[in-house]
Amino acid sequence: MLGYPKNLYILPLDHRDFLVKILFGLKGALNVKDHRLMEKYRELVFDGFYAAYKKLNNKPELAILVDEEFGSSVLNSARKKKIVFCLSTEKSGQSGFTLEYGRDFGKHIEKFHPPIVKALVRYNPANIQVNRIQLKRLKQLSDWCHTHGYKFLLEPLVPPTVADLEKCHGRQDLFDKNIRPRLAQTMVKETQLSGVEPDIWKIEAFESTKDWEKIIPVIRRGQSRSEVGIVLLGRNASFAQVKRWFNLAPREQLNGFAVGRTVFLRAVEEFHAKKINRPAAVKIIADNYAELVRYWTK
């Protein structure tokens, strides 16, 4: 059955190109030493998550999102500990959706047997040609997941075109408030019409409750989609901003959130710079994640 009718509080730790650039000032391939460091930082964030996990009561609702490139050990640990985990499938840093392992994507999913398979896509309805290619690839993944018994999570980011920004005098905040909500609804409709059927949508936070109330029925239109899950995406915002978005969201209609960098980035950066030790970094991550879970569920 399509959907995910359970609460879901995800700590994403699958950032690749972004984190490599922040920590090492690089784009592209890392040397062996730095690659291992990235793996260690994945383990650090997971340890923070797990410290919170052990203290929180709603364990079946707590989840992580990890990539294979730097997170294989974390994926294996989560599986052994029976923690809900999501596996990233997209190649990082691409303008169009590309599967990380091409035609072999299924083998890599089966390697870890994640409860949830995730794909990130950048989708502005104005980019017709690019979207046609992306939707074809996403449908291949969506169909495969449903055929093989995996839940499929889609994370669609809606970036502005040059024309969109011109309408907003170059201001991203005005785009997010005045244009992105309408484009997001169109994006959902076009995705569904192409035959791509996510069990869970990971949606960028909106600046008003009414925008949530407009997109939720679009995502869940039709009887077959009535159980489809929706989680709020944190967008690397401050704690105050994330909590503000939580307050604006109709939480009783959503399944939860997916907030990563807000939770772990400062701790990882300070540990990388040797400003704090590992136990301190783990505690910061654990406290941050637990605080957001409690805030959402209060």
Strands 200-204 and 229-233, sheet pairing: parallel
- Rounded distance, CA 43 to CA 45, Å? 6
- Are the CB atoms for 121 and 134 separated by under 8 Å? yes
Residue 114 scores a pLDDT above 70:
yes
pLDDT confidence band for 28 (50 / 70 / 90): low
pLDDT higher than 80, residue 160: yes
The CA-CA-CA angle for residues 43, 47, 53, to 5°, reads: 140
**Which residues form the domain of 177?**
8-297
pLDDT-derived band of residue 30, with 50, 70 and 90 as boundaries?
A: confident
How high does pLDDT run on average in the chain? 96
Q: Per-residue pLDDT averaged across 166-194, rounded? A: 97
Mean pLDDT of 172-185: 97
pLDDT value at residue 29: 73
User: Is residue 3 one of the residues assigned to a domain?
Assistant: no
The whole-angstrom separation of Cα 298 and Cα 295 is 5
- How many domains does the chain contain in total? 1
pLDDT mean over 205-229: 98
**Who's near 144: CB < 8 A, 6+ residues apart?**
105, 106, 109
For 242-279, write each residue's pLDDT tens digit: 999 999 999 999 999 999 999 999 999 999 999 999 99
Query: 2 lies in a domain?
Result: no
1 assigned to some structural domain: no
pLDDT at 27: 64
CB burial readout 209-248, b (16+ within 10 A) else e:
eebbeebbebbbeeeebeebbbbbbbbebeeeebbebbeb
Phi, psi of 12 (to 5 degrees): -75, 130
Q: In whole angstroms, what is the distance from residue 181 CA to residue 204 CA?
A: 9
DSSP state letters, 79-142: HHTT-EEEEE-BPTT-SS--BTTGGGHHHHHHHH--SEEEEEEE--TT-HHHHHHHHHHHHHHH
Average pLDDT over residues 118-135: 97
In a domain, 141, yes or no: yes
Q: pLDDT tens across 56-110, in order?
A: 999 999 999 999 999 999 999 999 999 999 999 999 888 889 999 999 999 999 9
Half-sphere exposure of 249 (CA within 13 A, CB side): 26
User: Which CATH number covers residue 165?
Assistant: 3.20.20.70
Tokens of 255: 């399944």
Task: Give the other-Cβ count within 10 Å of 295's Cβ.
Answer: 14
* 68 part of a folded domain: yes
